[in-house]
Amino acid sequence: MQLKLEKFVCVLGLVASMTATADTLTRDNGAPVGDNQNSITAGERGSVLLEDVQLIQKLQRFARERIPERVVHARGTGAHGVFVASKDLSDLTLAAPFQKKGKETPVFVRFSSVIHSKGSPETARDPRGFATKFYTDEGNWDLVGNNLPVFFIRDAIKFPDMVHSLKPSPVTNIQDPNRFFDFFSYEPGSTHMLTWVYSDYGTPANYRQMDGWGVHAYKMVDAEGDVSYVKFHWKSKQGINNLNLDQVMDVQSKDFQHMTRDLYAEIGAGNYPSWDLYLKVLKPEQLDDFDYNPLDATKMWAGVKEVKVGTMTLNRMPSNFFQATEQVAMAPANLIPGIEPSEDRLLQGRVFSYADTQLYRLGANHSQLPINRPVVEVLNYNQEGFMNMGETDSDVNYQPNRDGVKEDPRARHSSVALKGYVQQAAIKKQLNFKQAGDLYRSFSEQERSNLIRNMSGDLAAVNDKDTQAKMISHFYKADEEYGTRLAEAVNADLKKVKALARAL
């Protein structure tokens, strides 16, 4: 009996030793998390795996935090228009909008602010969403990007954490630099994007005078199944116009919704804004030719030539804001034959997360809403569900079937060779600071001064001096002048900053 009791006590001790402590990160079921920094991938350059429970659960729970407002991109303005291809890209892709010069494709664009709420002033510093829905003759394709070419993080598993840090405090409901700089001090890959956001590009004057970027690498696939990697860039034909801090304060005192008002006024007056679409193209064998990973969303493809492939013109505002702009369901999962997601880890997570978010916000049948409905016939066997507006009159709701409904071989996913192990590890060749330094040095002296002024205002509010110095060391590592000026602006210990930078 004594022996059995001792064994029982030992078992209890073993269980206790395996139980997550109060400072151990867990999933919703209480199980400890082994790695909250990296998604599980099929090798170094393979796709993210659906078996990554931590990633999937974080993204699902994150998408359901707000009812009914979008968690991100809550404040938006949309417009209808048309995209006209300027050349035949059939040698590069099967994608319908690019099959011949002059081909027209209707579009709907939703501009937005990323972090701030639905009623926030449009002067607030923020990346701006630039999402385009192409109503093609092979289904809807959504190119969901921003007005800046890169992003803060490179792995979707960090997206909920990043947004939590940037959103108002759960205790005070106040947005707090102490929180988001605490997070970014552990994310050196954010240095490039932070430089963009805290420059005057973080406060565009209007939606017409800003560029749009796909941010991620995508794949284009031709009729033979050959793959090319591409990046998309919308260049504003109106030019780029940003506001400095003084102009922001002046505009905000007069009109907190100036960007929306401007778009309605300009299109209403017949001044239709337009953007040229440019592509950068790499072959798969070129991905190793860089000192960074080209599938990293914190990186631009520096030195890769851009080619113009078409022009988009916005020519009509929605007749009802809610029915169009609020109910449009943009998602990177909306793809068409000839365009596929790359192995970019942030994009891989977004392909799941955005579509899942729209299902949550608008319901299983949101694609039947007029703003989301494809211009081609939809034939699938999804059925029932809330707000189903279909008119199904057949008892065949399965496939294969006697009606002979078959797949289209052209729409099969491309084949990718894999090597390595299923892993959970950070990407190699991170090069966290170089492009941020290049960007800083590309700015004029006035632009640099504005950047220092904009960023030091928030950095000065950081109470923890270690966090402040760590954050500044990232910018010092990018460019010594950049970090030195920030340190001086907030009276930080430059000697400490330099020591931290040497250790990076």
pLDDT digits (tens, 9 = 90+) for 360-412: 999 888 899 999 999 988 888 788 888 888 878 888 888 888 888 877 888 88
The secondary structure of 460-496 as a DSSP string is: TT---HHHHHHHHHHHHHH-HHHHHHHHHHHT--HHH
Rounded to 10°, the helix 465-478/480-490 angle is 150
Q: Annotated active-site positions, please?
A: 73, 146
CA dist 425 → 40, 41, 298 (Å):
7, 8, 17
- The whole-number pLDDT of residue 22 equals 58
Identify the residue whose tokens are 């990186």: 299
Q: What is the pLDDT of residues 427-456, one digit of tens each?
A: 999 999 999 999 999 999 999 999 999 999
Averaged over successive runs of 10 residues, the pLDDT of the chain (504 residues) comes to 43 44 69 84 89 82 73 93 97 96 98 93 96 95 98 97 96 97 98 98 98 98 96 98 96 95 98 98 97 98 97 98 94 93 96 92 90 89 83 83 83 87 94 98 98 98 98 98 98 97 97
Report how far residue 311's alpha carbon sits from residue 275's, in angstroms, rounded to the nearest whole number: 6
Which residues pair with residue 227 across a beta bridge? Answer: 221
Map residue 499 onto helix, strand or coil: helix
- The whole-number pLDDT of residue 237 equals 98
Strands (E), 114-196: 128-136, 139-146
Neighbours of 272 (CB within 10 A): 15
- The whole-number pLDDT of residue 29 equals 73
> In order of start, what are the domains of the chain with their CATH numbers?
70-150+204-377 (2.40.180.10), 434-502 (no CATH)
- The whole-number pLDDT of residue 10 equals 44
- The whole-number pLDDT of residue 130 equals 98
Task: Report long-range pairs for 28-34 (Cβ below 8 Å, ≥24 apart).
Answer: 28/57, 28/61, 34/424
- The whole-number pLDDT of residue 224 equals 94
Which residues pair with residue 280 across a beta bridge? Answer: 231, 306
Both structure tokens of 425: 């590890």
